[in-house]
Amino acid sequence: MRLVRSLRPAPGSTLALFLHEEQAARGAFDLPEPLRKPVTEAARGLDFKGRLGEAKGTLLAGTGPKAVQFTGLGPAGKLPVDRLGRILRAWASTAPAKSVVSLHPGLLRVPNNEAWAVALRLLTASDRPGQDFQKHPKGELTAGILPPSTLAPVEAGAALEKTAALREGAEVARALGSAPGNLLTPQGFARRACELARHYGWKATVLGPADLKKRKLPGLVMVGKGSENPPVLVRLAAGTKTRRILVGKGITFDSGGISIKPVAGMDEMKYDKCGAATALGALVALSEMDAADGTTVYLPLAENLPGGRAFRPGDILRWPDGTSVEILSTDAEGRLVLADAIHLAAGEKPEFILTAATLTGAMKFSLGSVAAGLFTRVPALRDRLLDAASATGEFCWELPLWEEYDEMTRGEITTLKNSTSGVAGSITAAAFLKAFAGDTPFAHLDIAYTAYRPPSEKKFKGPSGWGVALLAHALREPGD
């Protein structure tokens, strides 16, 4: 759904109000004066209480909106962000073609001054797959939005512009994340990134297998050897000087390689590129906000398949700095392709490096789909990401990255091993990545269970665009 600012509902439109119980009880309808009385009378006539999930509607007399719809949000301050998202997506999927929305929620764990902006972003989130392969997909709805009367026109306009930018980035992430492996190979992903680079004026560099071998970077080359589609590493730079670097894992399909995954759920392994899709989406959003200068994005892209040339358990890889890695599982391939990108990123001496990846299934058991795992040893980076999470409603939570976990990643005959057989899986994966960042301030987000909506939410299954808002907020300069 797209949003346009509206000063008053147009004649013949449907007015949609989302209200907490306290708002309904007080008749606190933040509406233009001519509408307050008829809307208040309609709510009273329907006995609307604002209970969570309550939905009622009626026709309105007069020359303004033809109808009003009320949706309850329950007690103020008790509504989780993900629940609000489900309510708004459900409404948007059946909304009348000519709609105007009034929405002023008090969200759980989101600062009051950010609540309206978060609600706008949730309202614009699509309920369709990122790429719709139906013959006749439903057209997208544009709705008017009534800003709160307490919000200055300039602030309301800025919030809507930011919402549009984040929506654009999220849609890029969702489209790339949902594309099946036969339609989006590593080279296809790279082509799309270069198209966006031309559009936004980024500098794009693409390294193929020969370039990677020349630089003695083994991760992508080895992971991609089992596929007919060769791996690539894409670097996108906004502006002339790199200050912040974001790295996103892009496995366009992950079978697990020789250490092959179970059949059940393997179709979802096309989502293993959601880290790269999210990183690219964040750069799009920053560019739409004219806040991308100084941000560089690395996208290591490969397809992990078994085959006669595929890498094997027991193989040993070596990076230019002398770090050696023994392969214990070819299904722990994400950290290998990220290692190539982090190694190059650290060489640029940025202020910090952030990585985003659908890296470990262990996140299901620690944080589930509510929050991403945050791993860092840099307090300033931790605070930056937690503040961004609070402001956007895309939550992350810090898990330990103590030095004790470094010992668990040590190899017996190599510097590191690429798997710890599930022991502290998410943490040791982050410790593995940290080893390639050296002294550069580093933080990692494991988005394995936030990047796409759970299968139980059948209607909205697929990449959610989660993380675009969080990363765009974290990468902006303070005060932007």
Among candidate residues 36, 261, 312, 476, the one labeled active-site is: 261
Kindly name the residue from 225, 335, 384, 417 that is annotated as catalytic.
335
Q: What is the 3-state secondary structure (H, E, C) of the chain?
A: CEEEECCCCCCCCEEEEEECHHHHHHCCCCCCHHHHHHHHHHHHHHCCCCCCCCEEEEECCCCCCCEEEEEECCCCCCECHHHHHHHHHHHHHCCCCCEEEEECCCECCCCHHHHHHHHHHHHHCCCCCCCCCCCCCCCCCEEEECCCCCCCHHHHHHHHHHHHHHHHHHHHHHHHHHCCCCCCCHHHHHHHHHHHHHHHCCEEEEECHHHHHHCCCCHHHHHHHHCCCCCEEEEEECCCCCCEEEEECEEEEECCCCCCCCCCCHHHHHHHHHHHHHHHHHHHHHHHCCCCCCEEEEEEEEEECCCCCCCCCCCEEECCCCCEEECCCCCCCHHHHHHHHHHHHHHCCCCEEEEEECCCCCHHHHCCCCCEEEEECCHHHHHHHHHHHHHHCCCEEECCCCHHHHHHCECCCCCEECCCCCCCHHHHHHHHHHHHHCCCCEEEEECCCCCEECCCCHHHCEECCCCHHHHHHHHCCCCC
Whether 261 is catalytic is yes
Active-site residues, by number, are 261, 335
